[in-house]
Amino acid sequence: MLKDSDKIFGDQLHEECGVFGVYGVEDAAGIVYYGLHALQHRGQEACGIVSVGDSGRLDVVKGEGLVTEVFNHSNLTSLTGRTAIGHVRYSTTGGGGMMNVQPFMFRHFTGDFALAHNGNLVNSRELTHYLEARGSLFHSSSDSEILAHLIKKESNDTARIFAIIDALNMLEGAFAFLIMTKNRIYACRDKYGLRPLSIGRLNGGYVVSSETCALDIVGAEFVRDIEPGEIVTIDDHGIRSRDYSMYKRRCMCAMEYIYFSRPDSDIEGCNVHAFRKQSGRLLYEEHPVEADVVIGVPDSSLSAAIGFSEASGIPYEMGLIKNKYSGRTFIQPSQVMREKGVRMKLSAVRSLVKDKSVVLIDDSIVRGTTSLRIVRLLKEAGAREVHVRIASPQIKHPCFYGVDMSTYDELLCANRTKEEARLAIEADSLEFLSQEALLAASRRNELCMACFDGHYVTDLYHSADRSKNNDNC
């Protein structure tokens, strides 16, 4: 069974952040604001915007909180110019605090620049030691700052683009970077393609975003995805592309499709809603069940629940309601208040589940705390049976690429059989989507599924050692 302390905290996955940039468009900072609002699901702890003013000076506004909490009319109007980049953050590596809020700004004799990062570097410790031994002083505990120091080290006798390329080739891990100078924006993805990044056109200029949904929100026309191992330069000459690495793979993180991305986003040609719906259909084919009603856990599991319902013929109902205004429970001052806050987030529709056999569809199980809470919630509302179906394989291994599950101890399925996991969440049955079905739903040949099978696409350096204990959660 799960410990009482485990039941207090949420079971939702958090991705480290989202990035959004605008080049060559009036009121660039205002457009970035709306882009970040569309990417808010990727990070709710902090956000920031850096713009290039008419004088060429870089100005910044950033703070802890949601986009609507940090920005207002006054501070947004202080960010002038036609070029800006922004960032929303959920802390994994480095922790929270203002010192880690991005974008970061750096002064350098070759020209000031700003940087925003989505992902996680697995060789951060080695690179930090390398840089500190050569005189670098770090102002944050975020691994994102490493790239800036590498660029500055390489820029002494080298053009900025080549300094960036040299720096990128020293990084190992998952990343999508935006680097902004007074004259241009550089956009780049890791050579494995673990994190998404897309380009759009808007009013004669360009937009870069972690997800295509933000392009739609600001009215930009999708142009293309940035390729793995590619750096794109955006300036008055348009778009220019270079491959900074000859080693390339298309190993998009499977959780981008399963959980992180909005359903109205397209990831490398595959719509997220369509993927999740097909996952639900395949989940029924692999693990059918007789029941009265299908219910999805809001919000990321609803598409899979619809697919399961369509394939099975079992009616789909909104049996769980999410309170979007329940607040961020991690900031509540006491354990009792945190528990009450967690229970406020979801409620069961008693009239739809009472005396019913329920199929509960969820996108994933990480720690199991949310699953246990929802199963109990449905049974307290009168559900006769609760059959849990998960639209992804069992998460058995930590993630080191920017997802906040870094130790084996915190994973429900890491050291339990499927039957033991079922008992832990008090479900009447429990089944998971296979890896083969997951690939089929994405219509891809390859995804990063390291959290399911332990086959990591990069070397892990020191990360694997930290995963053995729970001190670094």
Give the tens place of pLDDT for each residue, 454-470. 999 998 876 555 555 43
Separation of alpha carbons 425 and 431, rounded Å: 12
Q: What is the pLDDT of residues 401-439, one digit of tens each?
A: 877 776 888 899 999 999 999 999 999 999 999 999 999
Residue 17 bears catalytic tag? yes
**pLDDT score, position 273:** 98
Structure tokens at 437: 């079905």
Among the listed residues 17, 47, 188, 448, the single catalytic one is: 17
Separation of alpha carbons 42 and 27, rounded Å: 24
Q: Which CATH superfamily is domain 17-249 in?
A: Aminohydrolase, N-terminal nucleophile (Ntn) domain (3.60.20.10)
Q: Is 14 helix (H, G, I), strand (E, B) or coil?
A: coil
- The residues, ordered by sequence, that sit 6+ positions from 133 with a Cβ below 8 Å of its Cβ are none
Task: Answer yes or no: CATH 3.20.20.80 is held by domain 275-466.
Answer: no
The average pLDDT across 365-379 equals 94
Separation of alpha carbons 414 and 394, rounded Å: 8
Structure tokens at 171: 């990084």
Under 8 Å between Cβ of 94 and 128: no
CATH 3.60.20.10 residue spans of the chain = 17-249
Residues above pLDDT 70, as percent of the chain: 87
Structure tokens at 228: 């793995």
CA angle 471, 340, 319 (to 5 degrees): 105
Q: What is the pLDDT of residues 76-127, one digit of tens each?
A: 999 999 999 999 998 654 456 788 899 999 887 778 899 999 989 999 899 9
**pLDDT score, position 406:** 65
**pLDDT score, position 278:** 98
Separation of alpha carbons 309 and 289, rounded Å: 11
What amino acid occupies position 466?
R
Among 47-61, 84-98, 336-350, the range scoring the smallest mean pLDDT is 336-350
For residue 9, pLDDT beyond 60: no
**pLDDT score, position 341:** 52
- The residues, ordered by sequence, that sit 6+ positions from 361 with a Cβ below 8 Å of its Cβ are 280, 283, 294, 295, 296, 297, 301, 304, 305, 308, 389, 390, 391
DSSP 334: S
Q: For residue 8, name the pLDDT band (cuts at 50, 70, 90).
A: very low
